[in-house]
Amino acid sequence: MMKETVLLFACFLLFACTKNNIVENQPSVVPPVVQDSIPTTKYNLAFLSYCDQFSKTAEVKPFGTRGNGELSGIAASQTNKDILYVHDDGNINTVYLTNKNGSDLGKLIIDNLSNSDVEDITVGPGPEDGKNYIYLADIGNNNLKATSATIYRFKEPIITTADKNTVVHITAYDKIKISYASGSANAETLMIDPLSKDIYVLTKQNNKSYLYQATYPQVLNAIIPLKAQAILNFDLLTAGDISADGSEILLRNVGQIWYWKRASGESILQTLLKQPQDAPYAINEKQGEGICFSYNSDGYITDTEIMGYTAAVSNISFYKRVK
């Protein structure tokens, strides 16, 4: 009997020790990672109402500065009436001056600028009240190797006369560096909300675009990590713009243009989540890259890249407001 009691007690100890070891060696339960909810557009881009506020027929003029096969962004000056700023992907520190007629009006040279893939340009408010600023976006990243992007910001120069010999040097500019929470991204669309001074970047991807927001004031001494605000169902976006009064938005790719009317008190995100209208586009560009509202929003203007298209001409196309 004594032996049986001892044996049972030993078995109990062995079981208890084994059970404790199993519990102690099991991995601790890790709660699932809860990510921020990202709204996604629900509208079908194949079934949109037509925007009849602008002429269906574009006023098309050849771009007067030759040798620019990779025109990308375009923006209307808010300081110098009728002047447009355009740039290409190749001449990385130069912004060309033109107008709706495509005239060669000289250029801006941004001194000591070193960048890699400038894809868009816009004009809007900035740190100093009452001043207009040019925002030049080095946000292209086709091979997805860059882990951050840079937006250059500088005051619009006052240009009293402009012709093909005009050269204005920009010596002072801010560098706004950004990164994306989702990792490396390629983008070609930059916009600024004139009501809040917030900067928006939209990625260029197949069948979708992530909307990122850099709220004002944007810091200059560190990389700003941006979280996606929404996923929009646009294919390979190439440009966008917000009107100078903040009430209208345009987005485009190589084959289509979309238009939104922004309601009073509505954020850019809230507006873009609403169904847009299909805006006029003449399908006259080989690789449509840029879009902007005109100086007084009496229409919108587009430009195109022509690299790789034999005998093609870089054009400036203006769609006049009719309503």
Domain boundaries along the sequence of the chain: 41-320
Q: Where are the alpha helices (DSSP H) in 134-267?
A: none
| pLDDT of res. 68 | 63
Task: Give pTM, 2 decimals.
Answer: 0.87
| The pLDDT of residue 36 | 64
pLDDT for 15 equals: 40
Neighbouring CB atoms inside 10 A of 206's CB total 7
Helix (H) or strand (E) holding 88: strand 84-88
- Give the residue ranges of the chain where pLDDT is below 70: 1-36, 65-69, 90-91, 115
User: Given this model, what pLDDT does residue 10 score?
Assistant: 44
Q: Hey, what CATH topology would domain 41-320 get?
A: Neuraminidase (2.120.10)
Q: Phi, psi (5° rounding) for residue 15?
A: -65, -45
pLDDT of residue 58: 97
Amino acid at site 223: I
Q: What is the pLDDT of residue 14?
A: 41
Measure the CA–CA gap between 113 and 171, rounded to whole angstroms.
9
